[in-house]
Structure 1
Amino acid sequence: MLSPTRRTVLALGALAGALLAAGCTEDHRDADRTDRPDPDLPLRLRAVAATDRLLTDYDAVIAGPGADRAAALRELRADVEEHRAALASGLPTPSPSGPAPSSATASATAATAAPAVGVAALAAAERRTAAERLADLEAASPALARLLASVAASGALHAGALGDPGPIAPPAAPTGAAPSGSASGRPAPLPTGAVAALQAALSAEHAAVYGYGVVGARTPAGPQRDAARAGYAAHQARRDALQRELDGAGATPAAAAAGYRLPFAVSDAAGAGRLAAHIETQLTAVWADAVAGTGGALRQTAATALRETALRAAQWGADLSALPGLPAQEAADGAGTTPGTSASASG
């Protein structure tokens, strides 16, 4: 949490340290644990197969006309390779002498599917694949859900880079689905882990609103100030929505600190742009952890916030990794650990 002192640090990543996703703990005393099927296995297999189809699409477009874009396309394809490695982490390796497992069959099917033709079709494939990640969020474990949301955010960045900046819609609720809440009409109480996740996100959004106030004040009239105003309004809306959600669940929303110390001096438009990129980059970690700490509709909301803040970070010139919001080592390990405290962003 942010310090209640007069001047506190704008360290958005550190605000996610209180997250404890329900069901993430491991009981090493359970001797039968290794005999239990992995509930994430079907989801990982499906995600890997979808990624293989996307890689096939990239190969087809790179090999086609338009060699002037091949270098940029290869950079995006390298991100997709990282996605595959993270999603495939922990999957069984087929035996050379044994029958091929379902993952290999899925990959073979993906390789024979009709590839995308042209950059526009590739952008559509990125968008479609990102939407598939979102469809599996609710069924995934907290750690896998966070990875899927990060991959979907990267897919949105790729689609935008390929010329398709439209939103990626989460799956629609089933027709006739009952609204959330108790039989009395009051919102159902949230699990402790979800409350902690939302409080951490709220604290980060308080800091982001303050930070964008500085960005706007240091930016001259023009497109950059328009972007600053849009970011300010977006974070105000997120802050207000989180306050309503927590208040409706019977929790006292975290209050804004009295003030915030910026991570570096901001005296001109260039510094303001760096601050905006810093704010959004740090928020990707906060919202990625919120995906793991929540479930249901709240998990989809957190995944949407992750994508939006990743897109704004890129617009401000941030150099995002292939897996926005995930620490590098954790991404390499397949995002198989419980969310923890992110590194401080103060400087």
Structure 2
Amino acid sequence: MQPPSRRTFLALGLLTLTTACTGHDPTSTATPGGPDPDLPVRLRAVAATDTLLTAYDALLAALGAQTALLQPLRAETAQHRAALAYGIPAASTGATPGTASPTGTPTQATLAALERQTAQSRLADLGAAGPPLARLLASVAAANALHAAALGAPADQPTPAPTPTPTPTPAATPGTAAPALQKALSAEHAAVYGYGVVGAHLPEDQQRTDARAAYAAHQSQRDTWQRLLSTLGATPTPAAGGYQLPFPVTDPAGATKLATHLETGLTTVYADLVADLPAPHRPTAATALRDCALRAHRWGAPDTPFPGIPDPLPTPTTPN
């Protein structure tokens, strides 16, 4: 039996986001009463979302009653707009949902392509956004990728973002980037261990094939963080000698539940990592968030409008 000092809890699903409900926009880096430095990024994100909403509305109108797939996706897109536009005066956001000029009635395939394109535009703005907004953009981009997959986009698109080459700037020193990266590395060590358990309890079928692919993907992501930490001059945290599972796994149902638990927990890890990392490294973390969200969906996890972020907007407080 491993001594307690060499065992850690595989508790990725217990990670939670705590946001103080102060009534201000949690995605803004503006000081009270001052200008919002994120405003240009936020306006671009809102405009891209308005274009999506218009496309959804045009296709919904064309399909009539055949809306079982589109209505939930359209509703989530409206939630994205609300989060991205929170705190911005309505007059500043230009078009309102569904009012941008359409270029003709889209098909489901063109809508899937537009979702994918919108996801890429969010990732392109990560470096220009403050940490809280970058986190939100990465989450919404992952949701866009889920929408594209639901609409029939190929599973191997978009191309994963390359690992950035660190530069010796103050923003990329071990003292700022390393702690967040060590947390992600530890989570990947746990995921690799967990998928070893998952694969051992699945029959030799497509699920086991999926588990092998996920195992290899997490090994690759683990290696990415190890290399980046080494380049930054930090010593990567080694894997623990063993991990305690969050629940017993004795059959295929338990294995599937564990895989879902792992991927869902990792979306939170990577949403937080996007906010914690210097701008050059954010696309890699955002791509990992997207990939975990897609795998969680394939394992049967319920989709959420904001993968990795339980509650992106503050809950208004009730006056005494």
Q: TM-score, normalising length from structure 2?
A: 0.86
Superposition pairs of residues 172-187 of structure 1, within 5 angstroms:
180-182=166-168
Aligned partners of 1:53 and 1:319: how far apart in 2? 26
Structure 1 residue 59, shift from structure 2 partner: 0.9
Aligned partners of 2:83 and 2:255: how far apart in 1? 34
* Aligned counterpart, 1:244: 227
Distance 1:221 1:117, change over 3 A: same
Distance 1:229 1:213, change over 3 A: same
* Aligned counterpart, 1:320: 303
Structure 1 residue 230, shift from structure 2 partner: 0.4
* Aligned counterpart, 2:101: 112
Distance 1:255 1:116, change over 3 A: farther
Structure 1 residue 169, shift from structure 2 partner: 4.5
Superposition pairs of residues 210-249 of structure 1, within 5 angstroms:
210-249=193-232
* 2:128 is aligned with 1:139: yes
**Are the counterparts in 2 of residues 135 and 171 from structure 1 also a CA contact under 8 Å?**
no
**Are the counterparts in 1 of residues 171 and 278 from structure 2 also a CA contact under 8 Å?**
no
Tell me which amino acid in the other structure corresponds to 1:78. Answer: A
Superposition pairs of residues 41-52 of structure 1, within 5 angstroms:
41-52=39-50
**Are the counterparts in 2 of residues 215 and 273 from structure 1 also a CA contact under 8 Å?**
yes
SS of residue in 1 equivalent to 2:5: coil
SS of residue in 2 equivalent to 1:260: strand
SS of residue in 1 equivalent to 2:126: coil
* Aligned counterpart, 1:168: 158
* 2:75 is aligned with 1:86: no
Superposition pairs of residues 250-269 of structure 1, within 5 angstroms:
250-269=233-252
**Are the counterparts in 1 of residues 8 and 243 from structure 2 also a CA contact under 8 Å?**
yes
Aligned partners of 1:35 and 1:241: how far apart in 2? 41
* 2:58 is aligned with 1:75: no
* Aligned counterpart, 1:7: 7
**Are the counterparts in 2 of residues 16 and 286 from structure 1 also a CA contact under 8 Å?**
no
* 2:313 is aligned with 1:332: yes
Percentage of pairs with the same residue: 56
Superposition pairs of residues 274-293 of structure 1, within 5 angstroms:
274-293=257-276
**Are the counterparts in 2 of residues 287 and 303 from structure 1 also a CA contact under 8 Å?**
yes
**Are the counterparts in 2 of residues 44 and 88 from structure 1 also a CA contact under 8 Å?**
yes
Deviations 1:121-153 (A, max 9, x none): 110111111111111100000000000000000
1:300 counterpart (283, 289, 303)? 283
**Are the counterparts in 1 of residues 162 and 284 from structure 2 also a CA contact under 8 Å?**
no
Structure 1 residue 248, shift from structure 2 partner: 1.4
Distance 1:14 1:190, change over 3 A: farther
Distance 1:41 1:172, change over 3 A: farther
Aligned partners of 2:277 and 2:218: how far apart in 1? 20
Tell me which amino acid in the other structure corresponds to 1:119. Answer: Q
Would you identify which runs of 4 or more consecutive aligned residues in structure 1 move more than 6 Å?
170-173
Aligned partners of 1:118 and 1:245: how far apart in 2? 42
Distance 1:43 1:228, change over 3 A: same
Structure 1 residue 192, shift from structure 2 partner: 2.6
Tell me which amino acid in the other structure corresponds to 1:194. Answer: A
SS of residue in 2 equivalent to 1:138: helix
Tell me which amino acid in the other structure corresponds to 1:61. Answer: L
Structure 1 residue 112, shift from structure 2 partner: 1.7
Distance 1:161 1:85, change over 3 A: same
Aligned partners of 1:60 and 1:172: how far apart in 2? 35
CA RMSD, aligned part only?
A: 2.9
Structure 1 residue 254, shift from structure 2 partner: 1.2
**Are the counterparts in 1 of residues 259 and 296 from structure 2 also a CA contact under 8 Å?**
yes
**Are the counterparts in 2 of residues 216 and 228 from structure 1 also a CA contact under 8 Å?**
yes
Identify unmatched segments of 5+ residues in structure 1.
18-25, 27-31, 94-100, 335-347
**Are the counterparts in 1 of residues 198 and 255 from structure 2 also a CA contact under 8 Å?**
yes
Distance 1:210 1:159, change over 3 A: same
Aligned partners of 1:190 and 1:121: how far apart in 2? 42
